A and B are shown apart, each in its own frame.
Chain A
Amino acid sequence: NAGVTQTPKFRVLKTGQSMTLLCAQDMNHEYMYWYRQDPGMGLRLIHYSVGEGTTAKGEVPDGYNVSRLKKQNFLLGLESAAPSQTSVYFCASRRGGARRLVDEQFFGPGTRLTVL
């Protein structure tokens, strides 16, 4: 049981390049999230999904796209990377479904992205 895994762990891009970050979970969770973490800002939600085939915007969606074609995978895409997207990206999943008052988010180990 690997939990939540993220690929890659590190990446350096040049401005304008594109890339996709992959998140996979093996817990059969309905909800998946992509966050970015910057110093002094905590975690900010980029996009999230409440089930296979669904996606929704979070607090800071501009410059990113996502897809949830399979329940276990949630992809985050950067079409044209900018230096402002230099950050640590975390994926998380939770059981979700009906309103659950006690529902833990499980986080992946993060992807450190630098855009030059």
Chain B
Amino acid sequence: TQLLEQSPQFLSIQEGENLTVYCNSSSVFSSLQWYRQEPGEGPVLLVTVVTGGEVKKLKRLTFQFGDARKDSSLHITAAQPGDTGLYLCAGERWDTGNQFYFGTGTSLTVIP
């Protein structure tokens, strides 16, 4: 079983719509990162959140870390075709030697 569960697994929306991706766990993380991955490439970091309740914005993307540092969400406003990709959350746990645990991934398709 995965330590981090993401939902939904697949999402297909029209350009201009809003969406939210969730990343949930029963474990506490010291930090949580969101990555985006294009086909045939490695993941690229979007953001890192470290404080419970923290909210970070990156243009049309808003990231939130849960108060208890067990969950996170990614909200995209007015999605564009360029947002298409695989979104991955990754939590770091210091008690396991600075390992990152990746979520199951959300594949987003934005239709023009």
Q: Is the CB of B40 within 8 A of A109?
A: yes
Given contacts A31-B98, A42-B102, A45-B100, contact A105 B45 (CB under 8 A): yes
Size class of the A contact interface (CB-based, 8 Å): 20 to 34
Given contacts A40-B9, A58-B99, contact A90 B42 (CB under 8 A): yes
Interface window among A11-19, A65-73, A75-83, A95-103: A95-103
Q: Apart from A31-B98, A102-B50, A108-B42, what are 20 other A-B pairs with CB-CB below 8 Å? A: A4-B42, A40-B9, A40-B105, A41-B2, A42-B2, A42-B88, A42-B102, A42-B105, A43-B102, A45-B99, A50-B98, A59-B101, A90-B42, A101-B31, A101-B48, A102-B48, A104-B48, A105-B43, A109-B40, A109-B42
For the complex of A and B, list the 6 residue pairs with the smallest distance between their C-beta atoms, beginning with the closest.
Answer: A107-B42, A43-B102, A42-B102, A104-B45, A42-B104, A101-B50
Chain A residues in contact with chain B, CB under 8 A?
Answer: 4, 31, 33, 35, 40-45, 48, 50, 56, 58-59, 90, 92, 96, 99, 101-105, 107-110
